[in-house]
Amino acid sequence: MNGLKARYIVMALVCIGAVAWMVTNLGSNLNYMESVSTAVHQRDANHTSPNRVGGVVKPHTIKKGATFGAIFQMTDGRTTVTARVQGTPPDLFADCIPVILNNTHWEGSTLVGDQVTVKHGSTYTSKQMKSNVDTALDATGCAPAAKG
């Protein structure tokens, strides 16, 4: 009976350890999107692009077209790239707003995505995300994100 009890204790400790590892390590590795700088670095290093790239739309750079969707400049405050979105109506986004370009790939030096996700409002729960957005907004001359 002691052997059976010891096995249960060992199994319980292994389960607790696994849950603790997942909470501490997997949570910190969750990356919803990459920055514009990271996307450009990956293109230069190994000709790949992340699935999602986040940045801020630079003012007065959106060009809308019936055949190509919209072309605009996107920045993270350090690097600016020409971006094109194909599958989202261009009227859904505007100057100075944080966006995420989804399902991206490179066509030359243009970052192309099939959809753009727009953050309507500027309240961020993550301090790192707010800092990144504020840096990008500052680089564009746009107003900083609201505190939140």
32-140 CATH, one of 2.30.42.10, 2.40.50.140, 1.10.357.10, 3.30.450.40? 2.40.50.140
* pLDDT confidence of residue 80: 92
Residue spans per domain, the chain: 1-30, 32-140
* pLDDT confidence of residue 132: 67
Question: Quick one: pLDDT band at residue 73, thresholds 50, 70, 90?
Answer: very high
Question: Quick one: pLDDT band at residue 35, thresholds 50, 70, 90?
Answer: confident
Exposed, middle or buried, 114 (CB in 10 Å: 0-12/13-18/19+)?
Answer: middle
pTM, two decimals, is 0.66
Q: Assess whether pLDDT exceeds 70 at residue 12.
A: yes
Q: Assess whether pLDDT exceeds 90 at residue 38.
A: no
Q: Assess whether pLDDT exceeds 90 at residue 81.
A: yes
Bigger pLDDT: 131 or 105?
105
Distances (CA, A) of 42 to 48, 69, 115, 120: 6, 25, 20, 28
User: Among residues 101, 109, 95, 99, which one has the least CA distance to residue 140?
Assistant: 95
Half-sphere exposure of 125 (CA within 13 A, CB side): 0
pLDDT 10s digits, 41-72: 888 887 777 788 888 889 899 888 777 788 99
| Candidate from 65-69, 113-117, 126-130, 140-144 with smallest mean pLDDT | 126-130
Quick one: DSSP state of residue 90? G
Question: Quick one: pLDDT band at residue 130, thresholds 50, 70, 90?
Answer: low
* pLDDT confidence of residue 126: 52
Structure tokens at 121: 């409002």
Bridge partners (DSSP) listed for residue 57: 74
Q: Assess whether pLDDT exceeds 90 at residue 17.
A: no
